[in-house]
Amino acid sequence: MQRLTNKRVVLGVTGSVAAYKAGEVIRELQRAGAEVRVVMTRGAEAFVAPLTFQALSGHPVHRELLDPGAEAAMGHIALARWADCILVAPASADFLARLAAGRADDLLTAVCLARGVPLALAPAMNARMWEDAATRANVQTLRNRGVLFLGPEEGGQACGEEGPGRLLDPVVLAARLGELFEVGSLQGRRVLVTAGPTREPLDPVRFFSNRSSGRMGFAVAAAAAEAGARVTLVAGPVALEAPDRVERVDVTTAEEMLAAVSRFAPEADVFISAAAVADYRPREVRPGKIKRTGESLTVELVPNPDILATVKSRWPQVFCVGFAAETGDLDRHARAKLAAKGVELIAANLVGPAAPEAGGVFDAEDNALTLYWEGGSMELGLAPKDKLARALVAAIAQRLAAWEAGGGGTVVSLHRR
């Protein structure tokens, strides 16, 4: 399981011969789902070139405390705020001493001092240095301040001696770091969400669209990320900021939305189709602006692809959730939609005059949903959209587990995982 999904880890690398193993640590953290930014001390640079870690982490390595350029991009306070945890691997004897003394005379010590998040240290040094009274005292001081020590291991050392001082295995390091965080109900799952309306052009200045604000879909994407999922959000034209830790892809038309969804669906565990996709588009987009003539105008509309039904038929291993906005007879319409689209779950709500208490729902703060699946249903009462989204995600996680236990999603996922 990817215990570090959506977690941001600052990896500090200090001057120890084990610095070369920090590359493997980056890889294991990424494999566990984390995003990694590397901070190197001067001592570390004597062992490994920063470019190595830049290539592995995909981001420039942070090195200087008093570099105006670097500080403007992401200074020590910003780095400390960005992180969900800090791991220093390897942590040298000198680094432990400087941290214990509360120094902040290089970037890594300054970031550690400015943090409000857990700090874990993976020491690596000569066994005698680890057992020296000064190092023992520093370790005790740091432990008393709540710093977590991971390792060191016993064994043969680079200097030829035997004893405690080897860097803990990177796989174990990543696993132990993951234990710092709670496991969410969709931990490590890949979730694809669509949100907002689509816009279907008629001419260069006009289009057909609808009143969807995208707020429900954005709230669902945020809630899924909060539950530990890796979320991709395919959004139509909306005036909303992307939720934190969510990958956003912007589209305009239904056909663009289908193309974007088709790129991510093969890897997805769950598809949540919250977009209000335009059912029709003009057969032709006029090249020039349509002029007013005083005559009536007929525009021929052709059906758009049904994105949800397409995903379910092309990638049956994906657990699919559809929305149904109805003006009445919720049960009947939702059950019909469940069957017609072949999806695992329908989240249905009343819209328009039938839902006055939710302000007609579009662009409203509150919403109420009833969930339908084969053989069951469940009401999620009127609530703010973000609260409702969390309840919906919890219900999706439950239904997903039941579906998988019943054999759903297994055939292809055996090959995928």
Which residues form the interface with ligand C5P (CB under 6 A)?
254, 273, 275, 277, 279, 304, 306-308, 322-324, 337
CA 21, 22, 25, 27: dihedral to nearest 10 degrees?
-100
Q: How many residues belong to the chain?
A: 417
- In the complex, least distance from residue 396 CB atom to ligand C5P, rounded to whole angstroms: 13
- In the complex, least distance from residue 276 CB atom to ligand C5P, rounded to whole angstroms: 7
Q: Give the nearer residue to ligand C5P in terms of CB position, either 75 or 322.
A: 322
As annotated, the active-site residues are 159
Q: Give the nearer residue to ligand C5P in terms of CB position, either 214 or 322.
A: 322
Give Cβ neighbours of residue 78 (< 8 Å, ≥ 6 apart): none
Q: 3-class SS at 315? A: coil
- In the complex, least distance from residue 231 CB atom to ligand C5P, rounded to whole angstroms: 16
Q: Give the nearer residue to ligand C5P in terms of CB position, either 34 or 307.
A: 307
Q: End-to-end distance of the chain based on CA atoms, in angstroms?
A: 11
Q: Give the nearer residue to ligand C5P in terms of CB position, either 319 or 323.
A: 323
Q: Give the nearer residue to ligand C5P in terms of CB position, either 100 or 307.
A: 307
Q: Give the nearer residue to ligand C5P in terms of CB position, either 132 or 279.
A: 279
- In the complex, least distance from residue 359 CB atom to ligand C5P, rounded to whole angstroms: 20
At 6, the amino acid letter reads N
Burial group, residue 379, by CB count within 10 angstroms (0-12, 13-18, 19+): exposed
β-strand partners of 38: 11
CA–CA dist 323, 95 (Å, integer)? 54
- In the complex, least distance from residue 328 CB atom to ligand C5P, rounded to whole angstroms: 13
Own/partner pairs, 74-77, CB within 8 angstroms, 24+ separation = 74/37, 76/107, 76/110, 76/111, 76/114, 77/114
Alpha helices by DSSP H, 21-126 = 22-31, 42-45, 50-57, 68-74, 76-82, 93-100, 107-114
- In the complex, least distance from residue 237 CB atom to ligand C5P, rounded to whole angstroms: 15
Handedness of CA 168, 137, 43, 127 (dihedral sign): negative
3-state helix, strand, coil in the chain (%, to 5): 40, 25, 35
